[in-house]
Amino acid sequence: MQYEIKGGSFPVAVCKCEAGEKIICEAGAMSWMSPNMKMNTNTNGGIGKAFGRIFAGESLFMNSYTAEGGNGMIAFASSFPGEIRAINVEPGKEIVVQKRAFLAGEEGVSLSVFFQKKLGSGLFGGEGFIMEKIAGSGTVFIEIDGSAIEYDLAAGQSIVVDTGYVAMMDATCSMDITTVPGVKNMFLGGEGLFNTVVTGPGRIVIQTMPISNIAGSIAPYVASGK
């Protein structure tokens, strides 16, 4: 598969598939394609994995598109202003991404739900609690809300991130949900009750404009009708 990412702040991944080559995506993710790309809808790994994807904010079923009778073309547009990144996944180089981040990928990749280690704190951690792990072998396309800022964390090195800003991290990183210290800080600081702590070794990609924050910002205006 060859691909090109176009579109600036409203990006699209345009993929060129050789005859017989297959690409998978979430239901409804396809934007345009050549007529010889044939669609098949399935659970991609069985009903267990399908229900796991629902916890991660994805759809129950996935679509696969195969180029039949010659080379084909298919495009996947981002659902929100930001970036699309192409990530190469292989055994030992798995990644963990935010809910709804997976856009499309080669058929050799697999998706599963990823939970925080500490269930008790994670249940109150909002966006950062349930994420999605991508394993297998192949190229995947990941949506990032806003711009992406990367950090390479050494073993034992940590970074504290406001919940929802973690777009992606290497599976070698560990993640925990911690409470904001101090009652006054919790209720008067305006930063919420929880933060996400990511510890290396590995890469972390932080997004600057989480869609959940945007929705929260405009909700009062929608409710008031102004």
pLDDT in tens, 158-215: 999 987 899 999 999 998 877 766 544 444 444 556 778 899 999 999 999 988 777 7
Contact 147, 196 (CB under 8 A): no
User: What does pTM read for this prediction?
Assistant: 0.82
Tokens of residue 121, six digits? 């704190």
Mean pLDDT of 21-46: 88
Q: For position 124, what pLDDT does the model report?
A: 46
Please name the amino acid found at residue 81: P
CATH class of 2-218: alpha beta
CA dist 81 and 211 (Å) reads 9
Tokens of residue 20, six digits? 């017989």
Q: For position 90, what pLDDT does the model report?
A: 96
CA dist 141 and 115 (Å) reads 21
* Three-point CA angle 145, 176, 214, nearest 5°: 25
Name beta bridge partners: 83: 144
Tell me: pLDDT of 5 over 70: yes
CA dist 209 and 38 (Å) reads 35
pLDDT of 82-141, one tens digit each? 999 999 999 999 999 988 889 999 999 988 888 665 544 444 444 546 788 999 999 999
Query: What residue ranges do the domains of the chain occupy?
Result: 2-218
